[in-house]
Each structure stands twice: as C-alpha cells, then as structure tokens.
Amino acid sequence: MAVVSAPVLLAAGLAACSSAAAGNGPAVLNYWSFPDNSGAIQQAVDTCSAASGGKYTIVYNKLPTDADGQRQQLVRRLAAHDSSMDILALDVTWEAETAQAGWILPWTGAAKAAAQRDTLPTMLQTATWSGRLYAVPYNTNTQLLWYRSDLVPRPPATWDQMISDAEQLAREGKPHLIEIQGAQYEGATVWFNSLVASAGGSILNASSTAPSLGAPALKALQIMSRLAKSPAADPSLSVQQEDQNRLAMEGGTAAFELNYPFVYPSMQTDNPQLFKHFKWALYPRVYPNVPSRVTIGGIDLAVSAYSAHPDLARQAILCLRDRPNQILAAVKGGLPPTLMSLYSDPAFIKAYPFAADIKTALLSASVRPKTPFYQNVSIVISHAVSPPASINPSATLGQITGGINDALAGRGLVP
Amino acid sequence: MTTVAPPQAPAELSKAERRRLSEATRAERRFGWLLCAPAVIVMAAVAFYPIGYAIYLSLQRYDLRFPQQTHFVGLSNYGAVLSSGIWWHAFAVTVVIMVVSVAIELVLGMALALLLYYTPLWRGLVRTSILLPYGIVTVAAAYSWQFAWTPGTGYLANLLPAGSAPLTNQWQAIGIIILAEIWKTTPFMTLLLLAGLTLVPDDLLKAAKVDGATGWQRFIQIMLPLMKPAILVALLFRTLDAFRIFDNIFILTKGNNGTGSVSILGYDNLFTALNLGIGSAISVLILIAVAIISTIFIMGFGTAAPGTALERR
Amino acid sequence: MTAIAAPGTKTARHARTATQPTMPTGQKVRWGTANTITIAWTLFPIWWLIALAFKAPATLNDGSFWPNQWSWSNFSGIFHGTAFVKPLLNSIGIGVISTVISVVLATMAAYAIARLKFPGKSLLIGVSLLIAMFPLISLVNPLFNIERVLGLFDTWPGLIIPYLAFSLPLAIYTLSAFFREIPWDLEKAAKVDGASQRQIFTNVIAPLALPGIATTSILVFMFCWNEFLLAISLTSTNAARTAPAAMGFFTGVSQFTFPIGSIAAAAVIITIPIVIFVMIFQRRIVAGLTAGAVKG
C-alpha cells in the first residue's frame, strides 16, 4: 500500500509545488484531515485533483490522530483566520460550534442540492445548524451488537434481556461479560445518548436551549446502573474504550459486545476459531416495541470561512466524497459511506457483510446534542455516568441536568 | 572555603581617586547590562506579548465560539474561578502531588547524588542510567506507564487483584501519577545536587573525619549547608514544575475521576471549552500561586539566592 | 564510608587505583547492591518500552513483561508508514542549536548577576522567573499568532526562539548559583595583574564554571528534547515538527487502536541520541570534579 502510493504522493507533491510556483496555475486547496494510512484519502485527493481539469490541486495535510488534537489545531487556526486551510474534515459533533463561531461557510443552492442528494438523512442532521447546511457528510459509523452464537443462539432484543441472558450464562459458568465503553470519555456520552434516544427521549430540547431529561433519561441511567452492578459487567468497565472491548471479546471472556464494525475483520485475523461463532445484530432496544436509536459518528467535510477559493473548495469536496471515492474509503479504510445507494452496491456488500444492518441502524440513528457547547455537555455527561458502578439514577439525573444547564449558559468551569 | 577580604571602604580617598572609582563602577554597570542584554532581549521578545495578552484576556468574557459577545468583565472571571469547587479540588490534588513528589524526589535525589559521587563501581553505567529517565520523551514514558497500569494489557496491572483498575480510582491514580513523576524527574534533582556536591571541599570533610565526625554528621553539618544554593535551585524549579504538572496526568488519566491538576483544568477550559477568559484567569492564578511558592522559598533560604548578598564577597 | 581517602579528589583517585584490588568484598557487595537497585529502578520502565517496541503486534496486549514473540515490525512500521526520520533530525538540530545558544547567553547573564554590581539585577531575576512560571498553555495561541504573522511558523527558528526564551530562566538561575561558589580571589589576582574584564571571564572564570555549564547544558537539552506542547502547536509539517510531536500522528490499525507499538519503537529510537549525549556530558562533570579546580 505504502509502496504504491509513494510515487503517487511524489507526483501530487510535485504538482502542488509547480502549481504554486506557476502563480496562474491551478489553485491550491489545502485539505486538513485525520491521518489515513490506508491510502484512500490520498488516492481520492489525487483523482480529484486530476479530474478538476487544471482548476485546482488538493494537498492533503494531516492532523493529529486523536480527535481532540485535531479539533485543537483546527480551532487555533480558524480563530486566527488562517487562510492556509480550505477543506476541513470535522467530527460530527463540531459543526455546531464551528458554524456558530462563523468559521465555516454554509452551503446553498445547487451545491447544497448536490450535497444532499442520496445522502443519509441522519448525517445531514449532524451537518446542519440553525437551519442551514454547513458541511457534507463524508463517512459515518455506528455500533452493532456483536454476540457469540455458541453461547446465545438468539440475540437479545432489549437491554434488560441481554443483561438477564448474561446473568444466566454467569450462573452456568460460561463466558458472560457484556463489553461496552464505560471509561470517562466521549464513548460514555455516546452510550448514554444511545440509551436515551432508544427510550424515546433526547438529551436537549428541540431548540437546544435546555436539557429535556425526563423519564427516558432515568430509564437509561437505570439500565447503565443495572449493567454495572450485575455479573455481566467487565471488571475493567471503568477503563474500557472501544479497543479494550475488542480485546476482551477476542480473548473469549465476553458473550456480548456493543462496538463498531472494525471488530469484525479484527476477530477474523486474531481469533479465527471464535470467528465462526461471531455474529451481529441490531443495537438492543430499551423498550421491546420501540426500535433502538444508536448514536451516529463520522466525518463531515466543510469549507473554511477564510479560504481563498470557497467555490472551488465546494467542488473539490463534492468530488472527494463522490461514489467511487466513498467505496474506496469504505473498502480500504473500513469506514461506512454516507451515500445511501452504496449500501446495495455488491462491491461494498462483499467487504461489509453486515451492510444491511448497518444501514438500518444508520437510518434510525440518533445524533448527539447539537449545540456549540457540545464539548461542555459531553464532559458533564461522561463525568456523571463514569464509572458506571457509581450511578445512582435519580441523583445522577439531577447532576446531569444541573451540569447541562450551567454548560449551556456558559457558566462555571469545566472540570 | 577560601575567604575573600572585604572591600576597602572608600572613605579616605581623594577626589581624583573617587572619580576613577565611579568610572570603574559605571564601566562595571555597563558591562553587566551588556552581558545580560541578549538573554533579556530574547526572553522579552518572546514572552512579553503572550503573557500580556493572556492577562488581558483574563479580564474579558471571551468565548471563542461567540466572538461577537466578547466584553470586559474586570475581575469577575477570577471570582468565578475562585468560587468554584472544581478549581479548589484541582488545587488540592495539585498540592498533594507537588508536596509528596518533591519531598520524595529531594530525598531520593540526594541519595542518588551521593551514590553517583561516591560509588567506586560501574560509574559510567550508573551515571548514565540515573540520568536516562529524564531523557526519555515525557509522553512516551507516560504512555508506557499508562499501558503498564491498564488491566489486561499491562504487566503492573496484572499484578494487582483482578477487577482493580487503578487508573480510574482517584487516590490510586494519583499515586501512580506521583510515581511516574518521581521516576521521570528525580534525575533533575540528582544532577543539580551532584553539581552542588562538587562544590563541597574535600579538605573540610577530611578534617572533620580526622576530628572524629561520623559520616552522618559530616553530611548534616558540612555538606548540606554548603549545598544550600544547589538545593535551593533544585527545590525551587522542581516545585514550580511540580505545581504545573500536566503531561503525566494528561496521558495517564486525562484528569478524569478527580485526578486533574490546575494545569489540566486550565487546558480543559482553554482548549476544550474554548473559554479564553476563564482559561486565562486560571493561568494567571497558577502564576500567582507559583510566585507565592517561590517567594516563600527564596525568603526561607535567605541569602542563598543568587544575585543577593553580593556584598559579602 | 571507610578508611579510604575521600573520593573525588586527585589524591583520592590515585589512592583508589592503588588500593582497588584490595577493596574489601563486603564493601564491594554493598556498593554493587546499591548500584544494582538503582539501575533496576531507573531502567525497568525503559525495559518495558523496549519490550513493547519489540513485541509482535499481535502480542502487544498480552500483558507480559518479556516479549513472547520478538519482531522488528514496529520499527519498520514507523519508518515506512510515517515519516519519522525528518522529525528525528529536527529534534536533534533544534535541540542542539537551542542548547548552545541558550547556554552561551545564560553564561553571560549569570556571570553578570553573580559577579557584577548593576541596578536591575533583582528585576531581571524576577522577570525571568515570571517567564518560567507562566503556564505555557495560555501562551501557545498568542505565540502561534505572532509566528504566523512573522512567517516563523513551522520553521526551525520558530521553535528555537521560544525554546531559548523558556529555557533561559532555568539556565540563568542554575548558572548564577554555581558562579557564586567559585573562589573569586583568582579574579582579583588576575585584575591586579592587569587583565581586562573580558580576559578574566574567558580565561579564568569560564573553565572553573565547567561543571555548572555541563549540568545546565544537559537540563536545557532535555527540556528542548522533551518539549511537546509548543512542538505540536507551532508546527504543521515535518519541516520543523520534532519527534515528540510526530508521535502524535502515529496511527494504529484502526481509528480506535492506540499505536503503542509504534510509539514504543519511536521512543526507543529517540532515546539513543540521548544516551550518547548523556554519556558524553556525564564525563564532563566528572572531569570538572576530579580536576579539583573548584576546590582550589
């Protein structure tokens, strides 16, 4: 992979250099994105630069690996009105704050229509703020329930059932843990959000001005607390993030896992024995008759407000996330695409046997609270629900409500 | 220690001699400024604007996400920080980490300095290995500790009873952080104390031994007093650094589960919450706290501070 | 301590070489034990990093202190997948240049502070302490803005100059503490002989200050080498990005996997120049000790 893309890299680099030197040559668009070692992004960049017909050349600039580091770098430069950024890869939770601060440009007219065509509605939700579209969904991700069919012939439909199944397995002395992300980080907020949405509620009200935590949130906290106190809880629950969950499942101590699809190819390589019994199902429901609404993740592409070539940037973005490039990113990079028709594409289904379930999950997915204060809200939630064993549902509910009120008012300190 | 004869009082000099003396004084002054100038210029050029700007920001209500709502609020950011339980909690955690780690490092550093100074065996190996922890990139060392203490993947965590996740228990995590700090920065202390040890004249020690003083008495009554300047520098800078601890906590726990220091608090409010007013106020408060600590040190150590008591020589 | 002459002095050295074969075994054992415990304490976390670097990727998470499967793939990974050589060179270059300039400037200033009378001395010390004490997190964004405007962003001087500013306080303070302890009657004697201030400085004082200078050099270099926040904020490409910052760009197998193997391998590689640097300078300190110059 690295060997193939090296000459391509060189060519792109030379092209960028020469165009910059030429002065009247193609405009240089700086694309700032997470570091992608699969080569998919670089390939897309080269294809789109070539396909622009000399109008622009895209240069792929890498941001740090961790999401917080990426946000820091982007915010620092946007706040400084840095014109060396044109195309930005934003996590789905950053659109509200960057749009509110006036750092990214809205999409209107034909470009907006092109951006919305065939795109997952939930992802479009993440890219919308104050009724305007600010970014174009690039890739997405969401969780499924992974279980061992040798231990559990039929996957549980609800959380309560899953915990009961695990307790039963524990009584029989079989592997029985439920792997879920319980560390004090964004993953805990995602879990809470999924539960609240699956219970039919939402964390904030429709206008994102106040918390709307009521019975659904209470139910969510009760589930989390029940799991944490049951034998189904992994002893390391309070430190676990997605990768630790994956390792525990591959190690054979767990019966259930709530995680992203990256665990599937990993299990195939790491534990082929177990892989034979490794199955998936939709995220468990909270109530038997209400479909679950798991939290959506992913990346949206936006145009910097300080870019010298906003229109060209928009064209480039539409190319970077067009059908062939999305299939490339999905197959090479392992991240689900945002164009709905791709989910019935044979090439995609070959690489993603669970494509149909992912699509169902994505269509009914929930978004995290949309507010410029999202980081504050997320910290309030993750600090309240982690470690999960310390949750006292009614007290924790009060803690979260108070914390969110302060966060939305910009009051007080962030721990 | 050789003694220096005190300078002659110029009371009986003639006018011409006095003019020559003031010429010399002025030359000395000029030379002094000249020598200091490059360092001062570099420090001023780099730091004055950012520090000034940070202080200015601390007086504003300035949220990066709502730039148009920026306005002057005087000291109310400071009021908000000082009346917040979150600040005082972080302050307490910071003080605990600082006091415990510096105290242990001083003792350990002194022991290692003595070992380095006196050991007759494997000197090169011992010296290099003692200094090595300070040379490992901080974030890499912190990652190695974090990995070692994570249940399942880490050899240290696996020594503990199953189900314990020390990094998520507040006091266990603080203990781990202190351990990581001590391991990483004791070489700093050791180095400065060792250099201080070289300033202790052997004749004094030999004479004391001839007089029958034990090793411990020689240490307490001769070495320690003569090492005062070195101890001051080591303690002062180490304490200042310990109070501003950031890297180890950030990597080990990210400040979660109540292990955040004041620097982590500042970072969270500045970079995560994008609240420049509060974040800058926290930074200025850290500066004030650190200034108070160093003032206490300098006053406590008295004339051992550099630049003072020049006239004694 | 026993009947051997106080170590560290010239006579002691000779005495030791003369008596080494007859050092009592008990004493050897005690020193040997002390040394071994010390080395174990300082090196075992480093061994863990080395073990992680050499573990085959599949076994990274097995929690054993000793690699069950040895492999070079972590090392080859960082040199192929990510560009790591350039950040390494950046680190060395920026570190060495910053250290040299910083120690030179600090030596001059520390001499003036410790030896000369001029007004504004305590102000200088106070201000440099202020700079050392101000939390770096607040200074990063303004520095970023300045450097962007001046065109220093993502360049070597763009990191060297801030490193100078933030290492000078420690360097000045350390050096002036040592300069105070030098017996200055040598200076008076030279003055009586007619030497100028400058000659006194370069020929008499500077050599005496060698242990202090060596110590300060190590501390400043380590500061520049380890520095992370400025390195990651004031650079954007490998033109000036240093090794610690480059480690923030390592990726794991998936977006959720933490690349501990690559980071450990990078840490091992980065440590090698440090080991060399430390080995050189620890001998300088010893030379300062045994020359006995400071003790007259």
A70-108: pLDDT as tens digits: 999 999 999 889 899 999 999 999 999 999 999 999 999
Range of the structural domain that residue A350 is part of = 2-141+297-358
- Homologous superfamily (CATH) for C85-291: MetI-like (1.10.3720.10)
Q: Count residue pairs from B and C with Cβ separation < 8 A.
A: 327
C-alpha C163/C-alpha C170 separation (Å) is 12
Query: Residue B115 — very low, low, confident or very high, per pLDDT cuts 50/70/90?
Result: confident
Mean pLDDT of A27-39: 90
A396-406: pLDDT as tens digits: 999 999 999 99
Mean pLDDT of A233-253: 88
Would you call A80 an interface residue with chain B, using a CB distance cutoff of 8 Å?
no
Residue C11 has pLDDT above 80, yes or no: no
Percent share of chain A, pLDDT over 90? 72
Range with top average pLDDT, A326-335, B208-217, B262-271, C241-250: B262-271
- Whether A246 and A389 map to the same domain: the answer is yes
**Domain count of the fold of chain A:** 2
Residue A282's nearest CA partner among A387, A102, A143 is A143
A287-332: pLDDT as tens digits: 999 999 999 999 999 999 999 999 999 999 999 999 999 988 888 8
Query: Residue A7 — very low, low, confident or very high, per pLDDT cuts 50/70/90?
Result: very low
Residue B253 has pLDDT above 60, yes or no: yes
Residue C293 has pLDDT above 50, yes or no: no
Q: Is the peptide bond before C67 cis (omega within 30 degrees of 0)?
A: no
Chains touching C, CB cut-off 8 Å, 3+ pairs: A, B
Would you call A410 an interface residue with chain B, using a CB distance cutoff of 8 Å?
yes
C261 within 8 A of C53, measured Cβ to Cβ: yes
Query: What SS3 string covers chain A?
Result: CHHHHHHHHHHHHHHHHHHHHHCCCCEEEEEEECCCCCCHHHHHHHHHHHHCCCCEEEEEEECCCCHHHHHHHHHHHHHCCCCCCCEEEEECCCHHHHHHCCCECCECHHHHHHHHCCECHHHHHHCEECCEECCEEEEEECCEEEEECCCCCCCCCEHHHHHHHHHHHHHCCCCCEEECCCCCCHHHHHHHHHHHHHCCCCCECCCCCCECCCHHHHHHHHHHHHHHHCCCECCCHHHCCHHHHHHHHHHCCEEEEEECCCHHHHHHHHCHHHHCCEEEECCCECCCCCCCCCECEEEEEEEECCCCCHHHHHHHHHHHCCHHHHHHHHHHHCCCECEHHHHHCHHHHHHCCCHHHHHHHHHCCECCCCCCCHHHHHHHHHHHHCCHHHCCHHHHHHHHHHHHHHHHCCCCCCC
Would you call B117 an interface residue with chain C, using a CB distance cutoff of 8 Å?
yes
Q: What is the model's pLDDT at position B212?
A: 82
- Whether A150 and A137 map to the same domain: the answer is no
Domains of chain B by residue range: 15-58, 84-312
The dihedral sign for the CA sequence C169, C172, C175, C181: negative
Entry pTM: 0.85
A42-55: pLDDT as tens digits: 999 999 999 998 89
- Whether A163 and A285 map to the same domain: the answer is yes
A129 belongs to a structural domain: yes
Q: What is the model's pLDDT at position A188?
A: 95
A343 belongs to a structural domain: yes
Mean pLDDT of B281-290: 92
Mean pLDDT of C140-156: 90
- Whether A44 and A172 map to the same domain: the answer is no
Query: Residue C289 — very low, low, confident or very high, per pLDDT cuts 50/70/90?
Result: very low
Would you call A9 an interface residue with chain B, using a CB distance cutoff of 8 Å?
no
A367 belongs to a structural domain: no
Q: What is the model's pLDDT at position A22?
A: 46
Q: What is the model's pLDDT at position A290?
A: 94
Mean pLDDT of A211-217: 93
Considering only residues B199 and A186, tell me which one the structure prediction assigns the higher pLDDT. A186
- Whether A323 and A220 map to the same domain: the answer is no
Residue C238 has pLDDT above 90, yes or no: no
Domains of chain C by residue range: 32-71, 85-291
Would you call A53 an interface residue with chain B, using a CB distance cutoff of 8 Å?
no
Query: Residue C82 — very low, low, confident or very high, per pLDDT cuts 50/70/90?
Result: low
Mean pLDDT of B31-53: 90
Would you call B216 an interface residue with chain C, using a CB distance cutoff of 8 Å?
no
Mean pLDDT of C139-147: 90
- Whether A176 and A311 map to the same domain: the answer is no
Vertex A263 angle, CA B143 and A282, to 5°:
130
- Whether A131 and A164 map to the same domain: the answer is no
Enumerate the residues of chain B whose CB falls inside 8 A of the CB of residue A244. 150, 152-153
User: Would you call B86 and A236 a contact, using CB atoms and an 8 Å cutoff?
Assistant: no
User: Which of B:241-260 have CB within 8 Å of C?
Assistant: 244, 246-247
Range with top average pLDDT, A2-11, A356-365, B130-139, B254-263: A356-365
Residue A248 has pLDDT above 70, yes or no: yes
Q: What is the model's pLDDT at position B305?
A: 52
Enumerate the residues of chain A whose CB falls inside 8 A of the CB of residue C242. none
Task: Please report, for the domain that includes residue A31, its CATH number.
Answer: 3.40.190.10
User: Would you call B129 and C38 a contact, using CB atoms and an 8 Å cutoff?
Assistant: yes
Percent share of chain C, pLDDT over 70? 86
A339-380: pLDDT as tens digits: 999 998 888 888 889 899 999 999 999 999 999 999 999 999
User: Would you call C81 and A37 a contact, using CB atoms and an 8 Å cutoff?
Assistant: yes
Collect all residues from A whose CB is shorter than 8 A from any CB in C: 2, 34-37, 61-62, 64-66, 69, 72-73, 76, 79-80, 82, 241-243, 246-247, 260, 262, 266, 270, 334-335
A118-136: pLDDT as tens digits: 999 999 999 999 999 999 9
- Strand A136-141 and strand A297-303: the pairing is antiparallel
Residue A238 has pLDDT above 80, yes or no: yes
User: Would you call B138 and C244 a contact, using CB atoms and an 8 Å cutoff?
Assistant: yes
What phi, psi does A36 have (nearest 5°)? Answer: -120, 110
Residue C198 has pLDDT above 90, yes or no: no
User: Would you call B256 and A386 a contact, using CB atoms and an 8 Å cutoff?
Assistant: yes
Q: What is the model's pLDDT at position C173?
A: 83
A363 belongs to a structural domain: no
User: Which of B:272-301 have CB within 8 Å of C?
Assistant: 279-280, 283, 286-287, 290-291, 294
Place of tokens 């793939």: C73
User: Would you call C251 and A2 a contact, using CB atoms and an 8 Å cutoff?
Assistant: no
Percent share of chain A, pLDDT over 70? 94
- B84-312 CATH pick, 1.10.3720.10, 3.90.79.10, 3.20.20.190, 1.20.140.10: 1.10.3720.10
A18 belongs to a structural domain: yes
What phi, psi does A277 have (nearest 5°)? Answer: -105, 10
Enumerate the residues of chain B whose CB falls inside 8 A of the CB of residue A236. 150-152, 163, 165
Mean pLDDT of B177-206: 86
What phi, psi does A59 have (nearest 5°)? Answer: -115, 125
Residue C287 has pLDDT above 60, yes or no: no
Q: What is the model's pLDDT at position B99?
A: 94
**What does the mean pLDDT of chain A come to?**
89
- Of A322-326, B219-223, B300-304, minimum mean pLDDT range: B300-304
Mean pLDDT of B267-287: 92
What phi, psi does A353 have (nearest 5°)? Answer: -60, -25
Mean pLDDT of A382-394: 92
- Whether A136 and A148 map to the same domain: the answer is no
In 3-state terms, what secondary structure has residue C6? coil
Name which of A35, A76, A266 is nearest C141 (Cβ-Cβ): A76
Enumerate the residues of chain C whose CB falls inside 8 A of the CB of residue A260. 256
Residue A148 has pLDDT above 90, yes or no: yes
Mean pLDDT of A248-277: 91
Considering only residues A103 and C78, tell me which one the structure prediction assigns the higher pLDDT. A103
